[in-house]
Chains A and B, each alone.
Chain A
Amino acid sequence: MFRNFKIIYRRYAGLYFCICVDVSDNNLAYLEAIHNFVEVLNEYFHNVCELDLVFNFYKVYTVVDEMFLAGEIRETSQTKVLKQLLMLQSLE
């Protein structure tokens, strides 16, 4: 518990992915959301590792924006998200 939110986290080797949600939200569902997100990252960066995240932080932000918006889950299908990301990448 943290002020009036709670923090849900999942550990992947040396990294902790944390999500801060309202007290009334479903813990287990957000655990799944974290896992979903990590899987997308994995696909996008081709076997992502910590350094990938550090050096390409702005790309990570793009992925976040694709999947979560305004504090809610936006897109749950990994294939769709990846398609979008590739399209965005081609514009740069």
Chain B
Amino acid sequence: MLVSSLKLHDLIEEIRGAKTQAQEREVIQKECAHIRAAFRDGDPMQRHRQLAKLLYVHMLGYPAHFGQMECLKLIASPRFIDKRVGYLGAMLLLDERHDAHLLITNSIKNDLSQGIQPVQGLALCTLSTMGSAEMCRDLATEVEKLLLQPGPYVRKKAILTAVHMVRKVPELSDIFLPPCVTLLHERHHGILLGTITLITELCQRSPAALRHFQKVVPKLVQILRTLVTAGYSTEHNISGVSDPFLQVQILRLLRILGRNHEESSETMNDLLAQVATNTDTRRNAGSAVLYETVLTIMDIRSAAGLRVLAVNILGRFLLKSDRNIRYVALTSLLRLVQSDHSAVQRHRPTVVECLRETDASLSRRALELSLALVNSSNVRVMTQELQAFLESCPSDLRADCASGILLAAERFAPTKRWHIDTILHVLTTAGAYVRDDAVANLTLLIGGAQELHAYSVHRLYHALAEDISQQPLVQVATWCIGEYGDFLLENCEETETLQKVEEEEVLALLEKVLQSHLSLPATRGYALTALMKLSTRLQGDINRIRQVVSIYGSCVDVELQQRAVEYNTLFQKYDHMRAAILEKIPLVEHGNHQAEAAAKESQAAAQLSEDKASVPTEPQTSKLLDLLDLLDDTPGDTQQPPTLNPCPVGGLVHLLDLPCAPPPPAPIPNLKVFEREGVRLNLSFTRPPGTPPLLLITVTTTNSSEDDVTHFVCQAAVPKNFQLQLQAPSGNTAPARSGLPITQLFRVLNPNKAPLRLKLRVTYNHFGQSVQEIFEVHNLPVETWQ
């Protein structure tokens, strides 16, 4: 019944000869069946062959767990070849997740104490590869005995096994601490290597060991020195450098020992300089040693001259042709740039060269490093280089590069005009990848630079005329054209090449933007508003504008429709107010990032900073409409027209305004206005110091009951001589048991300083019922309106 089982060699050949997956699986399954049968009742002499075949099959990825018990049997057998395959099987098939591994412990113990070197070696190998914590604990003493044996073969293995044990069971480090110092005095490189690794491991685990080993720093220094200077041991020589591995390990240990420790660092200083200068860097081995030296210098408390030396070495690395070395140099320079900025600056040209690499990871590192190196003196040159890079770089780097350039420009811009030029250039080349707030930043910037209005609007117009597909550019350009369109009609003195533009061209361009299917809805909103503003700026016929606006009165997009309807009303009923409403936006304070970050903490800014300038002003106005329809009996009706129409433009101002003016903490006391079944409304008041008539009310709704509050809507009304604006609430659901509260901000303008009266209406669903409450707020603190 038994077909003669294949020899290992033949099996491998057969498997490799299989032409399809299915065929391979067939062969393997047949063979596995054989192996299982052989394990059960086969010839003990041949068992190792079976296991070897099983291991091959396992390497290919097929299940082989039935071989685990076989491994144990083989390990226990006295023959060397059985043991060899058995231990190999143990290493490959068993690991901590299987319970069988504990059974090996006994076998390993026996083998370790037998004294036959190769066998001991095997056992140690296995132990160090897959030894679990329990095994390590049991066998620690055995290993320690072996550490001190005379034969180097076993000692080397024992030391590294100790390393593994220390990793698994940190408490064992106490056992291994004393022998280390004696081992350091050995001359055999393998033992030294192992010892140093063990010491490194011990030091990393416990600071007490660290202190203990700081005493041996002089010894280490001496070893390294002999290695470097004494020349030439053919055995350990690798392309001209004597035992680079040992050198690297010693350097690593020195690094760990010298960190934050003055004394050790001093002893090392000379040695490091010596290593750095003596090592031959033509081959990779030398570079490896040098790299480790540089890392060590960076980490310990070294002299300034030494650090400069380290940076210079890295600079030399950058010039080599081997890509690996350059990658390594760029990564380390990035780490160094924070602490040794001036030294790294010297290598700036080389770094910039690296930007032109074809390899993606190299160019990414070079980009990060270049961005970190920009400062006020080299900003013009660097931005030029970076812009050239932007045009040619792969798309995943573009976003980083663009935002990096913009950030650098913002921090170090020498003149405003240069700043505007740079941003413009970035927008035209990589507009689609720019971050969202770049638009807001640019509009702020242009608004702030009054003398450059004409120049910027000309540039933007011409950029727009060429290409209307890059959305951020289009948004900024339309905004500018809307604001400063009258400058377009005159010649611009700053650059003779930009001629004045005719009115029709301007209108035609804006209409094109409006109709193009490439434009986002936000962009269309910008364009429509710009058209409206132009109606006051341009002297010519405004009928064309009226026509366009009325067409959009029936547009599908709600935002556009609403704007168009409002603008229509502006033309028809309130024509006398049009000029006043559509005046230029007053100079807005330049909001920088810190102010934005601070403002984000206050709820108002937090709500609004998510919405961009094109946020639908609809919720605010629709709330007002609802309020006014339903609250006809309240003592004060809000004025509709002035609050309705300034919303499009006013909303823009407020949204740009808020990030720069965080409301300071108010000393006005909070007020609890409403409570019912666990749902509570609190009002808190803030009077920003810059605008006395303005009062910010924050309504916080908390829910401490057992059921969620859903569909929550809160509306307000104030007397006739006030102006009220409601912002969008943070949500309309308050989870039960004091979940996240709903907050909403009201803005009340009180130019006459009249006494404030406030009426609130809330509707929500709670406990399955729909609740509606209307009430007036009493006991308003006097500070709210004085």
- Knowing A58-B88, A80-B190, A92-B80, the reply to whether A72 touches B52 (Cβ < 8 A) is no
- Knowing A28-B284, A31-B284, A32-B285, the reply to whether A72 touches B160 (Cβ < 8 A) is yes
Q: Which residue of chain A is the closest to B255 with respect to CB atoms?
A: A24
Q: Is B245 touching A76 in the complex (CB atoms < 8 A)? A: yes
Q: Is A74 touching B88 in the complex (CB atoms < 8 A)? A: no
Partner of A32, one of B8, B84, B284: B284
Bitwise, B151-185 to A at CB < 8 A (1) or not (0) is 00100110011011001000000000000000000
Whether a CB of chain B sits under 8 angstroms from the CB of A77 is yes
Query: Which of B91, B238, B295 is most buried by chain A, counting CB atoms within 10 A of its CB?
Result: B238
Q: Is B12 touching A92 in the complex (CB atoms < 8 A)? A: no
Complex-state Cα separation, A55 to B12, whole angstroms: 7
Q: Is B245 touching A61 in the complex (CB atoms < 8 A)? A: no
Q: Is B235 touching A79 in the complex (CB atoms < 8 A)? A: yes
Q: Is B324 touching A76 in the complex (CB atoms < 8 A)? A: no
Q: Is A88 touching B118 in the complex (CB atoms < 8 A)? A: yes
Partner of A74, one of B12, B129, B157, B295: B157
Q: Which residue of chain A is the closest to B290 with respect to CB atoms?
A: A28
Q: Is A71 touching B245 in the complex (CB atoms < 8 A)? A: no
Whether a CB of chain B sits under 8 angstroms from the CB of A54 is yes
Instruction: Please name 17 further chain A to chain B contacts, defined as beta carbons within 8 Å, in addition to the given A32-B238, A33-B245, sorted by A numbering.
Output: A26-B291, A28-B287, A29-B291, A29-B292, A32-B245, A55-B12, A69-B157, A70-B129, A72-B197, A73-B245, A76-B245, A76-B246, A79-B235, A80-B235, A84-B153, A87-B118, A88-B118
- Knowing A26-B248, A58-B52, A74-B157, the reply to whether A31 touches B193 (Cβ < 8 A) is no
Residues of B within 8 A of A87 (CB): 118
Bitwise, A11-22 to B at CB < 8 A (1) or not (0) is 000000000000
Partner of B163, one of A62, A72, A77, A91: A72
- Residues of B in contact (CB 8 Å), total 55
Can you report 11 residue pairs joining A to B where beta carbons are below 8 Å apart? A27-B291, A28-B328, A32-B285, A69-B124, A70-B160, A70-B167, A71-B164, A72-B160, A75-B193, A76-B189, A91-B118
Whether a CB of chain A sits under 8 angstroms from the CB of B128 is yes
A-contacting residues, B93-139, CB 8 Å: 118, 121, 124-125, 128-129
Q: Is B291 touching A76 in the complex (CB atoms < 8 A)? A: no
Q: Is A76 touching B236 in the complex (CB atoms < 8 A)? A: yes
- Knowing A27-B328, A28-B291, A54-B12, the reply to whether A70 touches B245 (Cβ < 8 A) is no
Bitwise, B292-333 to A at CB < 8 A (1) or not (0) is 100100000000000000000000000000001101100000
Distance in Å: Cβ of B445 to nearest Cβ of chain A: 38
Q: Which residue of chain A is the closest to B325 with respect to CB atoms?
A: A28
Residues of A within 8 A of B194 (CB): 72, 74
Whether a CB of chain B sits under 8 angstroms from the CB of A43 is no
Interface of A, helix, strand, loop or mixed by DSSP? helix
Complex-state Cα separation, A78 to B246, whole angstroms: 14
Complex-state Cα separation, A79 to B243, whole angstroms: 13
Whether a CB of chain A sits under 8 angstroms from the CB of B6 is no
Q: Is A70 touching B328 in the complex (CB atoms < 8 A)? A: no
- Residues of A in contact (CB 8 Å), total 33
Q: Is B288 touching A32 in the complex (CB atoms < 8 A)? A: yes
Q: Is B161 touching A70 in the complex (CB atoms < 8 A)? A: yes
Distance in Å: Cβ of B133 to nearest Cβ of chain A: 15
Partner of B16, one of A35, A54, A70, A73: A54
Residues of B within 8 A of A79 (CB): 235
Whether a CB of chain A sits under 8 angstroms from the CB of B81 is yes
Complex-state Cα separation, A26 to B85, whole angstroms: 34
Query: Which of A54, A74, A79, A88 is most buried by chain B, counting CB atoms within 10 A of its CB?
Result: A74
- Knowing A54-B12, A58-B52, the reply to whether A31 touches B288 (Cβ < 8 A) is yes
Partner of A58, one of B85, B236, B292: B85
Residues of A within 8 A of B193 (CB): 73-76
Residues of B within 8 A of A5 (CB): none
Distance in Å: Cβ of A84 to nearest Cβ of chain B: 7
Distance in Å: Cβ of B292 to nearest Cβ of chain A: 5
Whether a CB of chain B sits under 8 angstroms from the CB of A45 is no
Query: Which of A70, A79, A88, A91 is most buried by chain B, counting CB atoms within 10 A of its CB?
Result: A70
Complex-state Cα separation, A26 to B255, whole angstroms: 13
Residues of A within 8 A of B128 (CB): 69-70
Q: Is A29 touching B288 in the complex (CB atoms < 8 A)? A: yes
- Knowing A80-B190, A87-B118, the reply to whether A29 touches B245 (Cβ < 8 A) is yes
Residues of A within 8 A of B767 (CB): none
Complex-state Cα separation, A70 to B165, whole angstroms: 9
Q: Which residue of chain B is the closest to A68 with respect to CB atoms?
A: B160
Tell me the B residues contacting A by CB distance below 8 Å: 8-9, 12, 16, 52, 55-56, 59, 80-81, 84-85, 88, 91, 118, 121, 124-125, 128-129, 153, 156-157, 160-161, 163-164, 167, 189-190, 193-194, 197, 235-236, 238, 243-246, 248-249, 252, 284-285, 287-289, 291-292, 295, 324-325, 327-328
Residues of B within 8 A of A91 (CB): 80-81, 118
Query: Which of A26, A84, A91 is most buried by chain B, counting CB atoms within 10 A of its CB?
Result: A26
- Knowing A27-B324, A75-B156, A79-B235, the reply to whether A57 touches B245 (Cβ < 8 A) is no
B-contacting residues, A29-47, CB 8 Å: 29, 31-33, 35-36
Complex-state Cα separation, A91 to B88, whole angstroms: 16
Complex-state Cα separation, A55 to B248, whole angstroms: 35
Residues of A within 8 A of B160 (CB): 69-70, 72, 74
Complex-state Cα separation, A58 to B245, whole angstroms: 26
Q: Which residue of chain A is the closest to B331 with respect to CB atoms?
A: A27
Residues of B within 8 A of A73 (CB): 193, 245, 249
Q: Is B59 touching A28 in the complex (CB atoms < 8 A)? A: no
Complex-state Cα separation, A70 to B194, whole angstroms: 10
Complex-state Cα separation, A26 to B129, whole angstroms: 22
Complex-state Cα separation, A77 to B555, whole angstroms: 81
Distance in Å: Cβ of B680 to nearest Cβ of chain A: 48
Complex-state Cα separation, A74 to B125, whole angstroms: 11
Partner of A28, one of B9, B124, B324: B324
Partner of A55, one of B9, B88, B284, B324: B9
Residues of B within 8 A of A29 (CB): 244-245, 248, 288-289, 291-292
Partner of B164, one of A35, A70, A88: A70
Q: Is A76 touching B190 in the complex (CB atoms < 8 A)? A: yes
Complex-state Cα separation, A88 to B157, whole angstroms: 15
Residues of A within 8 A of B327 (CB): 27
Complex-state Cα separation, A35 to B288, whole angstroms: 13
Q: Is B292 touching A26 in the complex (CB atoms < 8 A)? A: yes
Complex-state Cα separation, A88 to B121, whole angstroms: 11
Residues of A within 8 A of B288 (CB): 26, 28-29, 31-32
Distance in Å: Cβ of B64 to nearest Cβ of chain A: 14
Complex-state Cα separation, A26 to B54, whole angstroms: 37
- Knowing A28-B324, A69-B160, A70-B160, the reply to whether A75 touches B292 (Cβ < 8 A) is no
Residues of A within 8 A of B156 (CB): 69, 74-75
Nearest 5 CB-CB pairings of A with B: A28-B288, A70-B164, A70-B128, A69-B160, A77-B235
Partner of A61, one of B16, B81, B88: B88
Residues of A within 8 A of B325 (CB): 28
Complex-state Cα separation, A71 to B121, whole angstroms: 16
Q: Which residue of chain B is the closest to A10 with respect to CB atoms?
A: B324
Residues of A within 8 A of B167 (CB): 70
Residues of B within 8 A of A26 (CB): 248, 252, 288, 291-292, 295
Distance in Å: Cβ of B199 to nearest Cβ of chain A: 12
- Knowing A31-B324, A74-B190, the reply to whether A57 touches B197 (Cβ < 8 A) is no
Residues of B within 8 A of A75 (CB): 156, 190, 193
Partner of A70, one of B59, B84, B163: B163
Residues of B within 8 A of A61 (CB): 88, 91
Residues of B within 8 A of A92 (CB): 80-81, 84
